[in-house]
Structure 1
Amino acid sequence: MTPDDPLMKILACPLDKGPLHLLRQEEAGAGTPGDALYNPRLRRRYPIVDGIPQLLPSSGEQVSEEEHEELLRRMTP
């Protein structure tokens, strides 16, 4: 999955139905095995496993305040 993938325009957070940001493996955070989708409003990260976004509410994980600040810094152009 890439940031310009048409699928990114229709994917939404299962909790607040808002847009998600693609995090490449190097941006997803320490201990994260691969790419992920991130909701900065709720500070939740959803894994992408074998190219398939895992968008069940139970699949998301809360990120710490410190990690959230780092992810925001990387997302800002």
Structure 2
Amino acid sequence: MTPDDPLLALLACPLDKGPLSLVPEEDAWALYNPRLRLSYPIVDGVPQLLPSSGRKVSAEDHERLLARIEAAAG
């Protein structure tokens, strides 16, 4: 999955049904929900969008991810 993948516009958070942002993580990509501060991994190109797959993000990581999202958007 890449930032320009049309599938990204169709994916939604399984909990609040809102949009997700594609963000780089340590050595892979993840889908991030800034409203709930949850990060969903992408494993072998497949988004893991089960509610139990969401990883809670710390306040520090949340700010870092928001900065990356804003930088990519503009």
Superposition TM-score, scaled by structure 2 size:
0.90
Q: CA deviation at 1:15?
A: 0.3
Secondary structure at the residue paired with 1:69?
helix
**Structure 1 portions without partners, runs of 5+:** none
Output one character per residue of 1:37-67: Cα deviation in whole Å (capped at 9) or x when no partner.
0000100000000000000000010000011
Task: Count residues with an aligned counterpart.
Answer: 71
What RMSD in Å do the two structures reach over aligned CA positions?
1.0
Runs of 4+ in 1 over 6 A off after TM superposition: none
The correspondence of residues 1-77 of structure 1 with structure 2, limited to 5 A, is 1-24=1-24, 28=25, 32-77=26-71
Secondary structure at the residue paired with 1:66?
helix
Q: Distance in 1 between matches of 2:38 and 2:58?
A: 9
**Structure 2 portions without partners, runs of 5+:** none
The share of aligned pairs that are identical, in percent, is 68
Superposition TM-score, scaled by structure 1 size:
0.86
